Amino acid sequence: MKLDLKEFESKMQKAISSYESELDSIRLGRANPVVLNKITVDYYGSPTQIAQMAEVKATDPRTLMITPWDATTLRSIEKAIYESDLGITPQNDGKSIRLAFPPMTEETRKQKKKEVESKGEEIKIAVRNIRRDANDKCKAMKKNSEMTEDEQKTSEKQVQDLTDSYIKKIDAITAGKVKEIMEI
């Protein structure tokens, strides 16, 4: 009996997808509505993403305009942005909120590079933990006589090959984001 790799591959793919969406939310020197995805506003008692309660658009490369559909939520949105780790002070004109993204300094670039690399290492650890779980399952199957020693070694090699391929994907994604940060 062989180990079903699809389950572990699915977990690794979910880890990478999570990593990519987390990288999208990192603020760079450009206005990108995705940076607001991790900010939630208390909207009638439930935490709600800004994009679900307002129109968010980039008016130019360095400015985001947030126009809430319900004008009474303007102050709540402004407060949530101000209290977030976005590092931008919202400008409220009574009808909408303007976010002006300052250009990145060299120090900010280095900080963002470290942040991206750190998150990349965290995802690599998550993928390696998935590998460990798969290898533990192989050992348990061998112990329960569900697979032979040769099948166990073959399965563990397949798990390692799968892990290596996902680690390479993570490295490529991280390198691409670091390059993007350093070019801005």
Round to whole Å and give the CA distance between 136 and 49.
39
Residue 147 domain boundaries = 5-24+105-183
- Dist CA 25 CA 67 (whole Å): 20
CATH (domain of 123): 1.10.132.20
Q: Which of 46, 69, 100 is the last residue of a domain?
A: 100
pLDDT of amino acid 45 = 84
Whole-number Cα distances in Å, 104 to 16, 52, 113, 172, 183 = 27, 28, 12, 23, 10
Write out the two tokens for 150.
């040769």
Residue 27 is predicted with a pLDDT of 65
Per-residue tokens: 145: 């006589």
Sign of the C-alpha dihedral computed for residues 159, 164, 165 and 169 taken in this order: positive
The full 3-state SS of 42-88, as one line of letters, equals EECCEEEEHHHCEEEEEEECCEEEEEECCHHHHHHHHHHHHHCCCCC
pLDDT score, position 164: 96
* Residues paired with 56 in a beta bridge: 66
What would the two tokens of residue 177 be?
């984001």
pLDDT at 118: 94
- Do 19 and 61 have their domain in common? no
Q: Are residues 60 and 38 in the same domain?
A: yes
Check which CATH number belongs to the domain holding 40 and give it: 3.30.1360.40
Please report the beta strands in the chain, taking only residues with DSSP state E, as ranges in sequence order. Answer: 40-43, 46-49, 54-60, 63-68, 91-92, 97-100
Of 71, 100, 129, the last residue of a domain is 100
Residues 61 and 89 occupy one common structural domain: yes
Q: What is the pLDDT of residue 116?
A: 92
The model's pTM is: 0.74
Report how far Cα 93 is from the mean position of its chain's Cα atoms.
31
First to last CA, the chain: 52
State the 10-residue block means of pLDDT for the chain, 184 residues long. Answer: 83 93 76 84 87 90 90 89 84 90 85 92 96 93 89 92 96 91 78
Overall number of domains in the chain: 2
- What is the structure's pLDDT at 126? 95
